Every structure is written in C-alpha cells, then in structure tokens.
C-alpha cells in the first residue's frame, strides 16, 4: 500500500455546492459515493485526488421509484437495494440478475449504481444490463441538467464522457416493450462467481406476436475496453424463430466480436470461448422470460 496523498474532504448538502467545489478543484477533484472503487484506488495509488467530494449528504440521490414510462433509480442507490427491489425485478430483470452477483453482500451494501458507471470498468456488472435496457443517465453540471444514454458514457477503461464537475444524479430505465425478457450471467475467477467478471453477458429479447424475435440486444463485459454491444449477434437473431440454431449463430457472432486482453484472471482465448458459452446461456434465459412476458 502506498501512503495516501493529502486531500481536502467535503460533504456538501446540495448539488449546486458539490458542482461548485468540483469545478473549482479542476482535474484533482473526485466524487465519492460508496467508495468501494475510489478508496481502493486511492490506497493503491491508482488515484491521487487533491479534493474528495462525498455525495452522501445531498438529498434525493438515492432510491427507486416508478415514474411515467419507466423507473427512476437514484445514482446513490446501493447495489443491495437494486437486488432487493421488486420494481427492478419486474422492469429490468437483467439488472436484478447483475446486482445479485456483484461482489459480496458487504460490498453490495456500499457500492452504488452511479459509482459503477462512474468507474467505467470494462468488467462492470451493471453497465451491460443498463445498456440492454436502454437506460438514460441524468447528469448535473455547471450548465444545468442533461440526459445521455448509459451506452454513450463509456469511452475506455476507467474513462467516461463525464467532465470532472459532472454528477450522475439518476438513471431512468424505460418500461420494456410487450414480449420483452432480459437476463445477465457472469463467470468470475472464483467459485460462486461473485467476484470481478472474467466474462459477463446481458441480453434482452423481444418476441413479436408471431413468436419470432422482433429485436435483441446483447452486451458483454470484460472482453473489450468498454461494455461491448454485439451488433452482429443481435442481427443474427432479428426476425428468426427463437430456436437453438438462432441462439448458436448469435453466440458465435458474439464470440467473434470480442477483443479481450489476457490478464491474471483469464487468457484472451479463454474469454472468447466463455463469451460464446455464456451468450448462448443468457439468451436461453432471456427468451424464456420473453415467452413468460408474452403470455
Ligand atoms: C472486493 C470488491 C469486489 C468488487 N466486485 C465487483 C463486481 O463483481 N462487479 C462490479 O461491477 N464491480 C465490483 N467492484 C467494484 C465496485 O464495487 C463497483 O464498481 C461499485 O458499483 C462502485 O460504486 P461506489 O459507489 O463504491 O463508487 P465509488 O468508489 O464511490 O466511485 C467510483 C468512481 O465513480 C465516480 N462516481 C461515483 N459516483 C458518481 C456519480 N454519481 N456521478 C459521477 N461519477 C461518480 C467516482 O468519482 C469514482 O471515480 C468490486 C469492488 C470491491 C472492493
């Protein structure tokens, strides 16, 4: 462990105050939510902020509510709350699946959805299901509020489009179309799979009135610098019967799209093989849920 660099610590009570401190602090400022990434990164020396702004005293940033057209999830909502939420289970099954396998219960009690996006880990468990569900982030900055798709926020390992003074305040997950089902699976390096993903896959499938696949979304973790949309795999499913042949074609296309690195957790070739197997499994679950939703 490296010695922590000295930093000034703030607990503002409003968004305006937080944005003001961040804007004045420039590149050395960092937000603190649950701290499960930031504190570890500071202890290892990967991050050396001069200013840390804790969001915990700002009202209205945590909780899950039904709103017109979907659900709104506050950025400070802990992963454990996502896991336990019946609303998330009904409206975004892949997100509930992912929350249930993110780390261990103590980490899930601290880790937040906003921090998971803000960290932008290629191995993130929440990025893929949020992209499958076409989630939209609300972001507050010095120029006011704006909305961006979660998909468009990721630009590289640990990097987002967010400026240092931007704060994700909530995530909107739209009500899925009729006949939609989604699921998420991951394989971690240790038995039980609740550690960082060697590979993770989220999929969403919409069945049309004729029983064919009207649309599909497939997003993989830990196989590229950002969560990876497997567009060719999605196209391999569109318009087809939800058969084993269609699932196999999509799984092969997803594996072919992967651009993984080799690291301590897995070799690149092992990740590609896992990506194909997991994509097939997660598609079967998503199709089964889509059939349930079509009844
Ligand atoms: C033992 C352990 C196991 C883990 N296992 C997993 C796992 O299996 N899967 C997984 O996905 N992750 C895992 N993680 C990583 C981590 O728990 C998650 O990424 C978590 O969701 C981060 O949330 P946080 O609130 O703790 O973020 P913090 O550490 O507080 O912040 C992380 C980053 O996001 C920024 N940030 C925080 N909130 C916001 C916001 N509202 N707007 C903009 N930027 C913001 C911060 O400035 C910082 O750069 C693990 C971590 C540990 C320590």
> Which pLDDT does position 270 carry in this prediction?
95
Whether 72 and 32 map to the same domain: the answer is: no
Whether 49 and 87 map to the same domain: the answer is: no
Point out the domain boundary residue: 115, 139, 174: 174
SS3 category, 80: helix
Q: Work out the number of other CB atoms within 10 angstroms of the CB of residue 63.
A: 13
For residue 94, name the pLDDT band (cuts at 50, 70, 90). very high
Span from the CA of 119 to the centroid of ligand 1 (angstroms): 6
Ligand 1 atom closest to 110 (CA): 26
Nearest of 277, 280, 260 to residue 269 by alpha carbon:
260
In a domain, residue 244? The reply is yes
With 90 as the cut, is the pLDDT of residue 26 above it?
no
With 80 as the cut, is the pLDDT of residue 1 above it?
no
> Which pLDDT does position 295 carry in this prediction?
87
Is there a contact between 71 and 87 (Cβ–Cβ < 8 Å)?
Answer: yes
> Which pLDDT does position 31 carry in this prediction?
97
Is there a contact between 183 and 93 (Cβ–Cβ < 8 Å)?
Answer: yes
Span from the CA of 117 to the centroid of ligand 1 (angstroms): 7
Is there a contact between 179 and 212 (Cβ–Cβ < 8 Å)?
Answer: no
> Which pLDDT does position 195 carry in this prediction?
81
Span from the CA of 167 to the centroid of ligand 1 (angstroms): 14
Nearest of 287, 283, 39, 95 to residue 179 by alpha carbon:
287
Q: How far apart are CA 289 and CA 44, in angstroms?
A: 42
> Which pLDDT does position 264 carry in this prediction?
86
For residue 169, the enclosing domain spans: 67-174
Query: Mean pLDDT over residues 237-253, rounded?
Result: 98
> Which pLDDT does position 90 carry in this prediction?
96
> Which pLDDT does position 236 carry in this prediction?
98
CA nearest ligand 1 atom 49, residue: 119
Strands 197-207, 213-221: pairing kind? antiparallel
Whether 113 and 15 map to the same domain: the answer is: no
Q: Average model confidence (pLDDT) for the chain? A: 95
CA nearest ligand 1 atom 37, residue: 115
CA nearest ligand 1 atom 44, residue: 118
Q: How far apart are CA 188 and CA 181, in angstroms?
A: 24
> Which pLDDT does position 193 carry in this prediction?
60
Largest CA distance in the chain: 63
Give the CATH number, domain containing residue 16: 3.30.43.10
Point out the domain boundary residue: 158, 174, 190: 174
Whether 31 and 124 map to the same domain: the answer is: no
In a domain, residue 224? The reply is yes
Query: Mean pLDDT over residues 12-36, rounded?
Result: 95
With 90 as the cut, is the pLDDT of residue 184 above it?
yes
Mutate-to-test residue for ligand 1 from 11, 12, 34, 37, highest number of ligand atoms within 8 A of CB: 37
Q: How far apart are CA 287 and CA 27, in angstroms?
A: 45
SS3 category, 8: strand
Whether 190 and 242 map to the same domain: the answer is: yes
Is there a contact between 202 and 131 (Cβ–Cβ < 8 Å)?
Answer: yes
Dump pLDDT digits (tens) for 118-173: 999 999 999 999 999 999 999 999 999 999 999 999 999 999 999 999 999 999 99
With a pLDDT cut of 90, the percent of the chain lying above it is 93
> Which pLDDT does position 191 carry in this prediction?
63
For the ranges 16-30, 183-197, 221-235, 243-257, the lowest mean pLDDT is seen at 183-197
For residue 5, name the pLDDT band (cuts at 50, 70, 90). confident
Q: Work out the number of other CB atoms within 10 angstroms of the CB of residue 175.
A: 16
Span from the CA of 210 to the centroid of ligand 1 (angstroms): 42
For residue 52, name the pLDDT band (cuts at 50, 70, 90). very high
With 90 as the cut, is the pLDDT of residue 281 above it?
yes
Whether 209 and 252 map to the same domain: the answer is: yes
With 90 as the cut, is the pLDDT of residue 3 above it?
no
* 115 CB near ligand 1 (under 6 Å): yes
> Which pLDDT does position 2 carry in this prediction?
61
Give the CATH number, domain containing residue 236: 3.30.390.50
């Amino acid at each position: 462990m490296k010695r922590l660099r000295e930093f000034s610590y703030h607990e503002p009570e409003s968004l305006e105050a937080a944005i003001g401190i961040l804007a004045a602090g420039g590149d050395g400022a960092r937000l603190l939510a649950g701290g499960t990434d930031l504190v570890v990164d500071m202890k290892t020396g990967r991050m050396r902020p001069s200013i840390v702004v804790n969001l915990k005293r700002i009202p209205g940033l945590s909780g899950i509510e039904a709103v017109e057209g979907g659900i709104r999830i506050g950025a400070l909502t802990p992963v454990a709350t996502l896991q336990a939420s019946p609303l998330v289970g009904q409206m975004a099954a892949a997100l509930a699946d992912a929350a249930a396998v993110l780390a261990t219960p103590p980490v899930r009690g601290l880790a937040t959805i906003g921090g998971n996006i803000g960290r932008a880990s290629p191995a993130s468990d929440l990025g893929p299901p949020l992209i499958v569900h076409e989630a939209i982030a609300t972001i507050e900055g010095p120029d006011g509020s704006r909305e961006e798709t979660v998909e468009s926020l990721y630009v590289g390992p640990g990097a987002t489009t967010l400026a240092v003074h931007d704060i994700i305040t909530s995530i909107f997950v739209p009500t899925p179309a009729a006949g939609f089902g989604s699921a998420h699976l991951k394989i971690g390096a240790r038995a039980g799979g609740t550690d960082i993903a060697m590979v993770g896959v989220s999929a969403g499938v919409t069945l049309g009135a004729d029983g064919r696949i009207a649309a599909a979304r497939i997003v993989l973790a830990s196989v590229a610098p950002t969560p990876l949309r497997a567009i060719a795999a999605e196209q391999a499913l569109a318009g087809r019967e939800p058969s084993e042949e269609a699932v196999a074609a999509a799984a092969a296309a997803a594996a072919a799209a992967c651009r993984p690195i080799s690291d301590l957790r897995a070799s690149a070739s092992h990740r590609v093989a896992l990506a194909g197997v997991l994509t097939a499994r997660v598609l079967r679950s998503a199709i089964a849920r889509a059939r349930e939703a079509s009844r």
